[in-house]
Structure 1
């Protein structure tokens, strides 16, 4: 991945983590140390793996871990949506909040990051460096 692609990935990730932290702060108070914390930790782990992949010479294992962890994050967000946590504001259910809009906003950025990770993997496969 070139320097330009790395900058795009880093920028997209920062956009995602800012948005995610806003939404997680609104989750129900009883989820503060459960799913909310787990999502936050997984998101930070994704960032650690992005950094590791950018710096490693042999990237196959790191990229595989990044791809798997990214999918974990996607599934945790999906679970939070299914449990209705995007309908909360300041820890309380709020009928004025549009949970679907929040869910779509965060999944859009997560999907964009996933596409970048997939393109990175495919680029290495094309070069024969990812077997």
Structure 2
């Protein structure tokens, strides 16, 4: 039975403000290679997206009541690397999924955090 994994893509957002020549093309080519390798090796990409810059984020800290919630602009933490996108991937072989990431993104400045999604209990 396949398990769903979430791949969070961390990168330095400032590199995209004035990218070095060829950076975008090389990055997109790596993502295309990841997609190709997943398909070839039986991993099914079920979703994903590039995210807007973290400065567009809104953070909500719930309070004891809804009126006490604190809503702020920007990311929760100030970091050089932010989550810039994600994939959801179903696979029977999570170890091979890690190898696919290492192969497709060799030489990339991006970092990938892979987590197993908690299966929702659906009443019968």
TM-score in terms of structure 1 length: 0.35
Higher relative contact order (CA 8 A, sep 6+): 2
**Greater strand percent: which structure?**
2
**Greater helix percent: which structure?**
1
